[in-house]
Amino acid sequence: MTGPRNALTHPQYRRGRRLLPLAAAILLGQLGCSTDQPTEPTSPTTTLAATARHPLPKSAGRRAGSTIRPNQAIAPRVSLSLGTAFSGTGPSVLVLADSDFVSTNALANSLANAGFVVSLRPAPENTWDGTNPSLSGFDAVVHLNGATYDAPLPSSAQTALTSFVQNGGGFVTARWNGYESQPEMPELMLQDMDLNPDGSEQNCGACQITYEALAAAAGHPVLAGIPASFTFMADGHDAGPQVVFASNPSTVLMRVPSGRPAVLARELGQGRVVSFSFAPNYYFDGLGEIRDPTTLQDPTVQQLYINAVGWVAGSESGTAEPQSITFGPLPNRVFGDADFSVSASASSGLPVSLSSAGTCTVLGTTVSITGAGTCTLTASQAGNDDYAPAEDVVQSFTIAQATPLLSWTPGSITAGVPLGAQQLNATATGVGGVTLAGSFAYTPAAGTILGTGPTTLSVVFTPASPNYHAVGTSVSMTVQSGITFKGFFSPIRNLPAVNVVTAGTSVPVKFTVGGKRWIQILASNSPSSEPAVCPTGTPEHTVRPGVSGSSGLRSMGYSYAYVWKTNPGWAGTCRRFILTLADGSRHEAMFRFKAASRVSTAARILGH
């Protein structure tokens, strides 16, 4: 428990308390009257508890401070005198009443019918000081605190209750004990308050609440004859967080659908405590209208009280047998693996419950992976009258990242065109075929201009989701030529022919292209030549010299002529002439060089 609550803890409920005793007197009728006959509701016009704060947020509608209309129906009341007893033969139970609504009598009668000796101390419960009556001779105390939500027990009463339980007595409590400031009995408060109407605690007034039993609590006496799940009208409700104790922790037996605790049990010293998340006898609905409390008239809720009183009243510390849980190590998994079952058992034979933390969930014995990381499963067994709670067993395993599936079919591209989205279009999918977000790093990068022919593209995908690791792949494609090369023409011939020329002469290399006229037809550093082995058995064609001058390219529409100045030193060798166009396409012709003939200068001039 935290420290005492006050107006500053919850400033939205900051109101004075001076009118609370008057309000309680007006609403709850005469205190300590001696008759047991029902009394009719009065028709006061006095303002009710205008300055009292409420444990529930109050919205539109008539507030607690509104004036009661004449003849407005208030819950029928039964006047009770101190020590009113309901006969029975079992343990003796003191009910500390917060109101004299008929619901209070309904609970007292149900306990008496179950065989308990019930003494009903009339409202308000906050006037009990631990001595009027004393707890001597009682086996259990049921504390009703829904109507008197802002009036804590006196310190002497809190101390008496704590001592009573430590020495073997039983205590059954409900909301709003976790709301009031009761610092002398923190060991008896198993559940704190959140006060959030929109939160998982379901803080509300006059609301339908569902209780669900935990599998590990099966067989606990408090749940005997209680359905695994049931719904009832709660006069008030707040399934606040379970209070954490350094020793002798409480056990959650039932919960609301959000997972918050609804029924808790604890062994303390030689005694026992049971706590409920509902607030019986709270008389306001969600709009602040006064209503007739009904929770204690619900048969299933009455059975919960009967079971709880029976368990706390019959407690004897140290009689339960020890038990242990067998829950073996679990193998590691990969994100995307299918759901799987785990097995845990208790030496007592009682059912074991499993809870999860990390990147997984568990329902019953079925585990579902929710992400990469670590999954921790805790096996628990709460025990019962015969067996003490087992020590939890925890098993953890790692969940590795999954591998994305990359799909990549680049679109066609022509040499000279920059790489773009049509080619760099890889996609990544994950578990179940879901498309994954992330970044794609391509090599070569977008904007790169490729040459004609086969090429390889690579990509590395880095997922945005931590459930997947990075992955890469490569694809091959062929870059199409962007220039239609029609071939070499006279005076040279195309492969496989070998063109024979005189070393040192200039050769006119002529070729044509189709499609369009290219301003920049040649790639940089083109053309070029390289030594080659002279082929044998191939036809030869002698190229007669007919041009002179320096090397260079001349354009003639779709035809081009490149003057190739050869080297006299190439005589007696073969070379491969390489013409590389601007689209990266490569075209070759073969040449054999012969030495120049020895003729006189006069003969050359005369043409002889």
The share of the chain scoring above pLDDT 70, in percent, equals 81
Query: What's the confidence (pLDDT) of residue 118?
Result: 92
Q: Which residues pair with 361 in a beta bridge?
A: 368
Q: What is the pTM of this model?
A: 0.47
Query: What's the confidence (pLDDT) of residue 42?
Result: 30
Q: Does the structure show a pLDDT above 70 at 408?
A: yes
> Which of 48-57, 179-188, 200-209, 434-443 is the most confident on average?
434-443
Distance CA 306, CA 303 (A): 5
Q: How many residues does the chain have?
A: 608
pLDDT tens across 22-54, in order? 333 333 333 333 333 333 333 222 222 223 345
Distance CA 119, CA 108 (A): 8
Closest alpha carbon to 56 in 20, 21, 10: 10
Lowest mean pLDDT among 59-68, 154-163, 180-189, 526-535: 59-68
Q: Of 193 and 3, which is predicted with more confidence?
A: 193
Q: Tell me the mean pLDDT in the region 81-105.
A: 77
Q: Does the structure show a pLDDT above 70 at 13?
A: no
Look over the chain and give the mean of its residue pLDDT values, rounded to a whole number: 82
Angle at 364 between CA 359 and CA 366, to 5 degrees: 55
pLDDT confidence bin for 554, thresholds 50/70/90:
confident
Lowest mean pLDDT among 26-35, 534-543, 589-598: 26-35
Query: What's the confidence (pLDDT) of residue 396?
Result: 97
pLDDT tens across 466-525, in order? 999 999 999 999 988 778 888 999 999 999 999 999 999 999 999 988 766 666 788 888
- Rounded to the nearest 5°, which phi and psi values hold at 8? -80, -25
Q: Tell me the mean pLDDT in the region 160-188.
A: 92
CA 596 remoteness from chain centre: 88
* Torsion 310-311-312-318 (CA) sign: positive
pLDDT confidence bin for 534, thresholds 50/70/90:
very high
Q: Of 545 and 462, which is predicted with more confidence?
A: 462
Amino acid at 428: A
Biggest CA pair distance of the chain: 158
DSSP 51-99: T---SS---SS--TTSBPPTT-----EE---TTEEE--SS-EEEEE-S-
Task: Tokens 């977008």: give the residue.
Answer: 446
Q: Does the structure show a pLDDT above 80 at 394?
A: yes
pLDDT confidence bin for 607, thresholds 50/70/90:
low
Lowest mean pLDDT among 312-316, 440-444, 599-603: 599-603
Q: Tell me the mean pLDDT in the region 156-163.
A: 96
Query: What's the confidence (pLDDT) of residue 606?
Result: 56
Q: Of 546 and 132, which is predicted with more confidence?
A: 132
* Torsion 132-104-302-196 (CA) sign: negative
Please list, in sequence order, all residues whose beta carbon lies within 8 angstroms of the beta carbon of residue 553, skipping any fewer than 6 positions away.
Answer: 521, 522, 560, 561, 562
pLDDT tens across 243-301, in order? 999 899 999 999 999 999 999 999 999 999 999 999 999 998 888 889 999 999 999 99
> Which of 59-63, 71-75, 367-371 is the most confident on average?
367-371
Closest alpha carbon to 99 in 67, 121, 116: 121
pLDDT confidence bin for 388, thresholds 50/70/90:
confident
pLDDT tens across 269-281, in order? 999 999 999 999 9
> Counting runs of H as helices and runs of E as strands, what totals does the chain give?
5, 35
Check residue 496 and give left, alpha or beta (phi > 0: left; psi -120 to 50: alpha). Answer: alpha
Closest alpha carbon to 399 in 429, 431, 355: 431
pLDDT confidence bin for 125, thresholds 50/70/90:
very high
**Could you tell me the two tokens for 590?**
């073969």
* Torsion 171-175-181-187 (CA) sign: positive
Q: Of 608 and 108, which is predicted with more confidence?
A: 108
Distance CA 91, CA 137 (A): 9
Query: What's the confidence (pLDDT) of residue 212?
Result: 96
214 SS3 class: coil
pLDDT confidence bin for 600, thresholds 50/70/90:
very low
Query: Cis ω on the peptide bond leading into residue 176 (within 30° of 0)?
Result: yes
Query: What's the confidence (pLDDT) of residue 517?
Result: 66
Q: Of 284 and 416, which is predicted with more confidence?
A: 284
Report which DSSP code applies to 469: -
307 SS3 class: helix
388, 320 in Cβ contact below 8 A?
yes
pLDDT tens across 319-364, in order? 568 899 999 999 999 999 999 999 999 999 999 999 999 999 999 9
Report which DSSP code applies to 569: G
pLDDT tens across 455-468, in order? 999 999 999 999 99
pLDDT confidence bin for 201, thresholds 50/70/90:
confident
pLDDT confidence bin for 16, thresholds 50/70/90:
very low
pLDDT confidence bin for 190, thresholds 50/70/90:
very high
